Structures are given as C-alpha cells and as structure tokens.
Amino acid sequence: MTHQFHRPPLADCVPDLVATARGDQKASLVITNARLVSVASGEIVEGMSIGVQGARIAFVGRDASHLIGENTRVIDAAGRYVSPGFLDGHCHIESSQITATQFARAVLVKGTTGGFFDAHEISNVLGLPGLKMMLDEARTTPLAAYMQVASCVPSTGPELETSGAIIGPDEVAEAFTWGPDMIALGEVMNFPGVVYGDEKMIGEIQAALRAGRVADGHYTWPVNDWRLSAYAASGISGDHEPVTAEDVVQRVRLGMYAKMRRGSAWHDVAATIKAHTEQGIDTRRMILVTDDRSPESLVDEGHIDFVVRHAIQQGVSPVTAIQMVTINTAERFGVSRDVGLIAPGNYADIIMMDGNLADINVVMTIAAGQVVAENGRMTVELPEYIYPEEAIRSVRLSRELMPEDFVIQAPIASGEVKARVMEVRENHVDTKQRILSVPVVDGKLQVNADRDLCKMAVIERHGLNGNKALGLVTNVGFNVPAAIATTVAHDCHNLMVIGNSDELMAKAANAVAAVQGGIAMVTENGETVLPLPVAGLMSNAPYEEVAEQSRAIGEALKQAGCTMNYAFMTLSLLALIVVPELRLSDIGLILTTEEGFKKVPLFVEE
C-alpha cells in the first residue's frame, strides 16, 4: 500500500533522478550552504548543496541553482552541518514500551531516520503474526525501518522455557518472502546451539543465507578459543555482545561487525571503544547501537544521537562516530545504496545539526525527502495503527494469584539452607551466581527487607501450560516490603514477579493481569501501574505519556530502595536465560556453563 512516506526502489526512480540532476526536471527539495559530513570520504565539505526528487537524492554539489523551480522547497542550511540520518544497527522497539509509530515520533526528532529492528520480543508472544504487525506498522512511518526475523523463539528450547510461539527454519524462510525490508536473521542467542550443531539453529541460519540475507549474533562466551570461529563460520557476521575492547578486536579480526552498545542500562561503549581509541583498530566494522532504550531515556537523553555524543566523549572523532551510525551500519546490512550516506540515488534521509559538531544538536530531520521534524518537534502527523484483538489480550492466566503461590518450601524444617541466588549487576546485562545461606522457618524460606534478598517468580502467561518457577535474587535493593510484577520479562515475556512479601507479590501480579500486561510496582503505601496492552509489551499511547508512566515506576522503585540506573531495564532481563550467569524461567533456574545452558536446583547440597 502506498502511503505518504513511500520509499520506492531506486530502479523506479532513475529517469526522474537523472533528469533532475540535469536540471530538466526541478527538484522537490534543495538544501544550500551546507557543511556536508561526507561519511564516504571521512571529511567535512564546505558550501555544498543537495537536490532531492521525491524520496531520493538527485544531486550533491556546489551549485544547485539549476534544480530550483517555483515549486521547489529551498532550505538554507546557513553553514550548519548536514549529515546522513542516523541508523540504529541493533534495536528492539518493544523494549521502549511503545509501538513502532510512537517510537518513530520519539526518535525522528533526535536524528534517527532508520534502523535494523529485531522484533523478537513480540515474536516470542505472538509468533510470526506479531512480527508481521510490527513490520506493517513500521512501514507506515517515515523511518527506513528494516526488520529482522526473530531467530530464537524461544531463546533456547522448549525444554528450558515456554514462549507464546515457536519459530524455526520454515518460519524464517516464510518471513523473508514479505519483502526486502525483512533484512536479516535477528540475534542468534542460542550460541551453544550454533557451535555444537543444533539442527534448528543451523537451519535458520541456512534459510537466511539462502534468501540472500545476513545473520546477526549474540555470543557471550570468552573470545579466546575456537568457539568464536565456529560461530562465525556459520555465517553469523555481526554481534552486539562485546563488553571489552578485546571482544571487539577478536570479532573484527574474524571479519565480523562489532556492535558497541549503549542502552539505557547497558553501558558498554566506554570499554569497547578502546579497541579503536587505544588499540587503533580500523572502525569500518565497528557500529554504535542502542539495543534497549527505556521511554524516559529517549526523552531525557536521546537515541542514537546520545550514543554518538557518548562515543565522541570517549575520544572518537565526530566524523568517525557518525560513520559508526551511518555508512558502517548500512554496509553491514548491504543497503548502502539506499541509506547511510548523502549521495545521488540514496534516500533523502538527512539531518541538520547546529553549533559544534561534537554536540550532535539535531535541529531538522528529513526522511524520504520530507521534513518530518524541526527543533525537537514532529512537523507531520503519523497514522494510527490499530492492533487486532489477539494482540491486546495476550495475558492468559488460569486464575488469580494468591500469596501462597510465592511460598518457597525448603528441604529442612528450620535453620539455614544453602541456595543459589542471582546477583543483579547495575548497568550490566549479566548476573552472578551466589551461594548464600537463607533462613528457614516452618519449612519455608524467609526473605525480608533487612537482608536485600528477594523472591522471584516466573509464571507462564500465554495460556499453554501454567508453569511456575521460584528463585532468589539479591542486590535489588528493596529496604521496605515491596514487589514488582511485569510481563516485560525477556525474552519469553512470561509474568515475572520480584519481591520480599508474598502478599505484595500476589497483589502486583494480579494488577498486571488486570490491565492485560505491563508493570506494577507495589508497596504497603500503594501501587504504581504502567499498562502495556499490546502483547503485554507496548503501549500505543503517546510516547511522552508512556515516558512519564515509566518514570513513575522508576521513582516507585527508588522509594522502595532500588536505586540502580534505569533499574527496570536491568530487572526485566532476569528471565533471559541465554545471558550469563544464572537466570530463572518458568521451568526453573538456568545456569550458563562452558557447555551451554542447563537447569540447576535452587538448593545446594552441603
């Protein structure tokens, strides 16, 4: 369906673009007096003009006067910097708790004109239909929105966790028939499955390669042995899990693209960028990405513009940092003839920046040849996307939850027992396994606000089996009776509850179920709820409203003693069993080992 932000293929535009460059056909838009950030040559070129015909660029040069007619919109850049729009090379829209339309509104004003979006969150809830909904909605926005087929639904296998759907090689192949904007296979998190020849994972990668697409990775084992080579040999050519400079170096040396992440709560760029700033590694295969950004961090800090500023602060030159979110990203996915640089034939995805280039102060965004944002405000209205009933009624619990559902029976009647405990780490995606002594009274484990120890429950919410597993977590920080419940529990997105009071855990869980998904923070003083009715992951309310509701959840967490930076983003990963070291699924505790993932008991024998 053609809409106002249509992006026609280059082949369809060739006659008009050539005629416009000659001056025989007048441009629809001309930018003059620009300081062009040329990411292809790595330089800033003064006094440049850009001529646009429809959605694509027809001309780049000194003098565009021959392109200007009575209907041409002329924008005088007045010496401001003009750059390709920014591209996010690895991002989950759903993690921002807003729909694709609202995400576009939030990031276009910040200079993001496109991205490579892995919708594996909604895919784990609704399967291929959910992925298709995200693609269809993204196509109605000004963004150059490329989607990736979720590779890990579930993230490992049904023997370790329960997702709302299962995607395998046949589904991957089907999704690639939806169009060229289904660009790649999403992050392959079951890295042990790839390395040790799991039939499903190998089949999905083969389906992507046979469709002429690339495959993205997620590899968290050490990089100093043969296994990273085995992973790369499968055809996986990009990875966003580097957390050290050495992680980046080893990936780049194997020909992979190293994606350096600065999400709301994952602060990896400061360490990983040293591969360039201290070790001198060529940046052509280095990309800056967000992975996950909370709605309030989009408002307060920004999107890719924030990551670029951060990289510059670490010592990267501004032009190099911009290359890491434009041409490098486009080349990684094989679409640099469409996006990622200002060149004749490319889409007119252009941003204008005021002041010092290092400040990345975006004052205008042009997407597909249209001015869509100026001075931090959208200048166009985006159509509303209506989700079907099955997408907004996805929380299917068999019954209301009770306090006794959160009781953990101990193997002894009284005293203390050794138990495995997840230790949360601020600004890190991983946890640590701790073996702690936990008191037992009347055969039940005891947690309270004095010990910084919480219970955690993961309850299957897709209406499939009603599984429930219980575990323990520390370093959450609760210093009063409190509980938080959410259906944003990466990646299977079952109902996750964390707390130190069985009564409050039940109350929080039921509050989330009552609004068909979202987040509920409960203390003895009351509750704060953020409804996320779209697949239990997203709200279709304006992103500004969702940001304030998310901020309220963060404040409620702080009031209860959980003071981590963007705490909810970290807590939401505690059910993501493919990230080291210890996690909880609806099946039980899962430990990452040198051989892969295995279920382990809560209690440890003396």
Helix (H) or strand (E) run with residue 108 in it: helix 100-108
Low-confidence residues of the chain: pLDDT under 70? 1-3, 606
Q: For residues 575 and 556, is the Cβ–Cβ distance under 8 A?
A: no
Q: Is 237 in a helix, a strand, or coil?
A: strand
Summary mean pLDDT of the chain:
96
Q: Which residue blocks in 23-110 are alpha helix, DSSP H?
A: 100-108
Beta strands 361-367; 589-592: pairing state? unpaired
Peptide bond into 491 cis (omega under 30): yes
Beta strands 81-84; 350-354: pairing state? antiparallel
Q: For residues 375 and 363, is the Cβ–Cβ distance under 8 A?
A: yes
Alpha-carbon distance 436 to 586, whole Å? 22
pLDDT given for residue 606 in this prediction:
65
Beta bridge partners of 540: none
Instruction: Give me the percent of the chain exceeding a pLDDT of 90.
Output: 93
pLDDT given for residue 1 in this prediction:
36
Phi-psi region of 147 (alpha: psi -120 to 50; beta: other; left: phi over 0): beta
How large is the angle between the packed helices 543-559 and 100-108, nearest 10 degrees? 90
**Would you give the distance in Å from CA 110 to the centre of its chain?**
17
Take residue 256 and report the two structure tokens written for it.
């992979």
List, in sequence order, every beta strand (DSSP E) within 295-452. 350-354, 361-367, 370-374, 377-378, 415-423, 432-441, 444-445
Q: Is 112 in a helix, a strand, or coil?
A: strand
CB half-sphere exposure, 560, CA atoms < 13 A = 35
pLDDT given for residue 3 in this prediction:
55
Between the two ends of the chain, the Cα-to-Cα distance in Å is 65
Q: For residues 183 and 512, is the Cβ–Cβ distance under 8 A?
A: no
